[in-house]
Chains A and B, each alone.
Chain A
């Protein structure tokens, strides 16, 4: 018994004496929510971190209401030859330990991206606190730091706002892991969503303050880890779709032989891809699948009529095919990059032919033939069939007749 007590005492004493104590309280941490990486003029790395102020962000504990309802974060910035060195210099300015695992977005300044990502990417793939789930973004026409500076009214942390913005638009985030997979992959170039700061429009302003607001509209295209350009507008959607990253989006397209447009909400967007190789001649076939719901119908046709829906569907698919083609031509011909991974498709589908194509893939890219087959189905016509207010000039009377002839005859005038 006595012996046992002695052993117990020794064991208990060794626990704290070992000094094996990596306990960190939450209030000893500086939670980094966003990180910007820029290139300085003297070719150094400037890292800017957005550190959350928990007392401003979290549910207000009644004890700590200090009144200053200012920003819920602050920025710390430092330079260094590498990201790690810059991080260390930041740590010198922070009384709390810089805590990286909760990093939500990694913003790459445009200059840094254009200069090439090789030098910084290693740090993010190697240093354990960095999580590969971090969203990677490119700051369009700007450095990263000014974007991190700005506040966003809806979210207390602007980093979080940016991340949610991307997710809202396309339904998914491009994470560091995706980017690294693309960087390591065979026959594929990298792309990342680009965010830019634009001045607030007059109608959006609530106060006299002149504040800028984020916008997502384009995707940065990389070639060999260097930013070479952006695709804009609908082509961004097309690129996401071709990369199978699109979850949902809204498309607005004209209807053939009609005035007015329709808008649809696209869900379950998928694509199938096939490649055909004849010597140096590469053909890629994309089959685009998805379901759509009509959200707006400006043509005045009765959306309950299956024939009408079919016409809408034809128009929608034509539009989809056109944006796909535009996007592919832009990235493959103009930029000579392969962000949709056609090379990878060839590699997967014709593994024996790829070694021959690989050395001259950059030369082959602009001459690829495209077959695009869009098979999106409109499955729902929305809440009402014909427009509720009854547009007399188009189609309603005739669509009651329920024949295609009268419908077409009507639209002719």
Chain B
């Protein structure tokens, strides 16, 4: 087999979306590409030549002014203070206006420097900065001593006020982040009836603090990373040591470190780089705006990836059945939660299959429809001009367009739009005899069904898969649907998210983990963590905590035998 054939195989792999990768890929035949170590390209040329601070403040100031040329929001403020010997000390405070809390800057930096007597500046410059400014004079929590121009630039851009002192080769960075941030409110994309109403915001530290506040344990680790050459976005990988699988944590870290990108604006930028099977229609990472969901997943051994600048936190590894679990399932009584899960699973099937089932049954397998229903459908279809497939495609497309328009429109217009759309689709089309009434019912039920997904991104993939299924149904009837379903299931079973099979615990069946898939057993019965995702520590709840009359401090209640009762 030559190279071309090997390429052919790769084409097949692409074509089958990786579903056949395991079978099709004979490893020895694929020519091994030489492993090329790509070095991290350095975008900022200034940082190559490490420019150290000069003892001359004027030189440093000139250098910084060159660096921040045309940056109108960067403030370089010269001040002059006096030390205890009465000598004047020239200083330069650099900060970005808006990133720094100006009130704190005034009270905790400028006021002590200008109004108070500073200690004698006799020590070596670096020590003076560290010992006196940082430890004695400035009441600021987080400070840092810097010696390079690039470090100063970096700190200033991260919201620090940097103080340079004349005659010193070091500068002091005082972290005074004080930019405007959004208030914490309930995330509109994931509302609950019962449950915490907090949602993440765009600031990383606020978000990690929400998690830390819920899991007060040093075992909750948060690893910091910076991704994006221009944006230098802070990314934080959080996991619980001992619960998360070490291999998964390592894999997440290494995948994140491999990313070379200029900018990270939303966590989706990272998601597309680190997922296992980029051509799959199914998302292999979960995203959420809710700290309670993140905590629950961390406790199940998952890894959370926080990204600065977005409220959406990524969770890995994700499994398919998790998409059908809402966080509220765990806050509701177990019967209701289980009922809702079964409802969601059935409506997932409806959302995927209902239009294609209708099309294939009315155009191929009419004998499967009960007679009286067939007569009703036949009556409704009597006047319609299009074949059922075309009708279904038109309606589904209109529905999707209507939804898209509703999402993007401003709220007031969106409402009017949906009314117009409903009238057009529901009333006029049927009355004009262009669309049959059962089709409207089918499309609207499908529409409702596609909204029952607690996770929007999985719902979207199912919604998209509906169209190929519809085409298959139009071409081959129920036979075609079976082919489509077969391909989808094979793909789902073959898919992995960070090494964890996507279809667990149903795909590789793990009976003990099924307690949280189709039903939700009571909390006291959920004794172990899910098998696929957790590391060595899988015990959550010691057994025997089911409430009952025999629990509690008193002696266990003895059952009186009938004979003894009779005797007394």
Interface residues of A (CB under 8 A from B): 1, 3-4, 7-8, 15-16, 21-27, 29, 31, 33, 52, 54-64, 99, 101-102, 104, 129, 131
Contact = CB atoms under 8 A, between A and B. Distances in A.
Contact of A27 (B7, B371, B378, B477): B378
B437 A26 contact: no
Contacts of A27: 378, 381-382, 384
Interface stretch (B211-219, B286-294, B428-436, B458-466): B428-436
Given A8-B15, A25-B363, A59 B378 contact: no
A4 B15 contact: yes
A406 to B, nearest CB: 45
A63 B431 contact: yes
A131 B432 CA distance: 37
A64 B379 CA distance: 8
Contacts of B364: 22-24
A57 B431 contact: no
Given A24-B366, A25-B363, A102-B367, A55 B14 contact: no
A58 B11 contact: no
A410 to B, nearest CB: 49
Contact of A26 (B11, B374, B433): B374
Q: Interface of chain B, helix or strand or loop or mixed?
A: helix
Given A59-B376, A63-B433, A64-B433, A26 B15 contact: no
B380 interface: yes
A27 B430 CA distance: 16
A62 B379 CA distance: 10
Interface string B407-442: 000000000000000000000001111001100000
Contact of A55 (B377, B379, B388, B430): B379
The 3 closest A-B pairs by CB, nearest first: A58-B379, A101-B367, A63-B433
Contacts of B8: 3
Contacts of B382: 27, 54-55, 61, 64
Given A24-B363, A25-B363, A25-B387, A59 B14 contact: no
Contacts of B477: 23
A3 B437 CA distance: 43
Given A26-B362, A29-B378, 16 more contacts: A3-B8, A3-B11, A23-B477, A25-B362, A25-B363, A25-B388, A26-B381, A27-B382, A31-B371, A31-B378, A58-B375, A58-B379, A63-B383, A99-B366, A102-B367, A102-B374
Interface residues of B, number: 33
Q: Give the most central of A23, A56, A129: most B CB within 10 Å.
A: A23
A61 B15 CA distance: 45
Nearest to B388: A25
A10 B261 CA distance: 37
B268 interface: no
Nearest to A52: B375
Contacts of A62: 430-431
Contact of B366 (A1, A26, A52, A59): A26
Given A23-B474, A101-B366, A61 B378 contact: no
B475 interface: yes
A61 B380 contact: yes
A15 B374 CA distance: 28
21 contacts: A4-B11, A24-B363, A24-B366, A25-B362, A26-B362, A27-B381, A27-B384, A31-B374, A52-B375, A54-B381, A55-B379, A56-B379, A58-B375, A58-B377, A58-B379, A59-B376, A59-B380, A61-B430, A62-B431, A64-B382, A64-B383
B11 A7 contact: yes
B10 to A, nearest CB: 9
A274 B380 CA distance: 55
B419 to A, nearest CB: 21
B509 to A, nearest CB: 34
A260 B167 CA distance: 130
A15 B367 CA distance: 25
Contact of B380 (A15, A58, A99): A58
B378 to A, nearest CB: 4
A134 to B, nearest CB: 11
B424 to A, nearest CB: 16
Nearest to A56: B379
Q: Give the most central of A16, A52, A131: most B CB within 10 Å.
A: A52
A374 B51 CA distance: 113
Contacts of A26: 362-363, 366, 374, 377-378, 381, 388
A131 B371 CA distance: 13
Contacts of A99: 366
A57 B371 CA distance: 11
Nearest to B367: A101
A8 B16 CA distance: 11
